[in-house]
């Protein structure tokens, strides 16, 4: 009887943990998409309360993990690990939020770009290089065309090879 009650309580706790993790991730998404600093701060406060709830549930899991009457401890360890992953995420978020915007660390972090942004900038630079190459080719072709046309005017009809090249350009 006591074992069934304990198992039922553990199942309820597992469900609370899953719901808490989902809430945490939802709030994290809202915080990342928040426009203003005030909204981000509010979402950070919500994250903090959610992580506190998860930490309390983690403490409960720790007591069950040390209990000798529970045989299968794998789900306990798994749920505890899930909570600890969320705690690590929160630690990173909290560190980012506490960094002042114009501090040395804050300015350095703004210079770091995400991989998609770096890839976009690299692509833009590559395209600009190709455009410059094409412009140089056009300029050299135009210059060659002008010299051939000027040579053809001087020589008259004697420069058939030059005229063929002029038509080619």
Q: What is the pLDDT of residues 24-64, one digit of tens each?
A: 999 999 888 887 888 888 988 999 999 999 999 999 999 98
Q: Report which of 47, 18, 17, 49 is spatially closest to residue 31, judged by C-alpha positions.
A: 47
Encoded tokens for 106? 């804050």
Q: What is the pLDDT of residue 158?
A: 47
**How far is it, in rounded angstroms, from Cα 148 to Cα 164?**
10
The whole model's pTM is what? 0.57
Side-chain-facing half-sphere of 168: CA atoms under 13 Å: 9
Q: In this predicted structure, which of 51-55, 70-74, 104-108, 131-135 has the lowest mean pLDDT?
A: 104-108
Residue 159 confidence class, pLDDT cut points 50, 70, 90: low
- The pLDDT tens digits for 90-129 are 998 888 887 765 556 555 555 566 667 778 888 888 888 8
Encoded tokens for 78? 């798994």
**How far is it, in rounded angstroms, from Cα 89 to Cα 84?**
9
H helix or E strand, kind and range, residue 57: helix 37-66
Residue 71 confidence class, pLDDT cut points 50, 70, 90: confident
**Average pLDDT estimate for 62-80:** 88
Share of the chain above pLDDT 90, in %: 36
Q: What is the largest CA-CA distance in the chain?
A: 113
**How far is it, in rounded angstroms, from Cα 52 to Cα 63?**
17
H helix or E strand, kind and range, residue 113: none
Query: Quick count: other Cβ atoms within 10 Å of Cβ 58?
Result: 19
Q: DSSP state, 149?
A: H
Q: In this predicted structure, which of 52-61, 72-81, 145-154 has the lowest mean pLDDT?
A: 145-154
Q: Report which of 43, 47, 55 is spatially closest to residue 16, judged by C-alpha positions.
A: 55
């Amino acid at each position: 009887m006591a074992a069934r009650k304990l198992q039922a309580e553990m199942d309820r706790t597992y469900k609370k943990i899953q719901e808490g993790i989902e809430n945490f991730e939802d709030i994290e998404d809202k915080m990342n998409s928040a426009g203003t600093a005030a909204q981000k701060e509010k979402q950070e406060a919500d994250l903090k309360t959610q992580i506190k709830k998860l930490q309390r549930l983690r403490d409960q899991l720790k007591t069950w993990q040390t209990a000798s009457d529970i045989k299968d401890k794998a789900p306990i360890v798994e749920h505890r690990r899930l909570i600890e992953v969320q705690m690590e995420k929160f630690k990173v978020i909290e560190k980012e939020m506490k960094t002042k915007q114009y501090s040395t660390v804050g300015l350095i972090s703004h210079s770091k770009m995400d991989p998609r942004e770096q890839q976009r900038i690299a692509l833009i630079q590559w395209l600009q290089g190709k455009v410059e190459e094409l412009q140089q080719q056009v300029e050299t072709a135009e210059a060659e065309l002008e010299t051939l046309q000027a040579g053809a005017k001087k020589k008259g009809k004697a420069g058939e090879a030059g005229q063929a090249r002029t038509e080619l350009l």
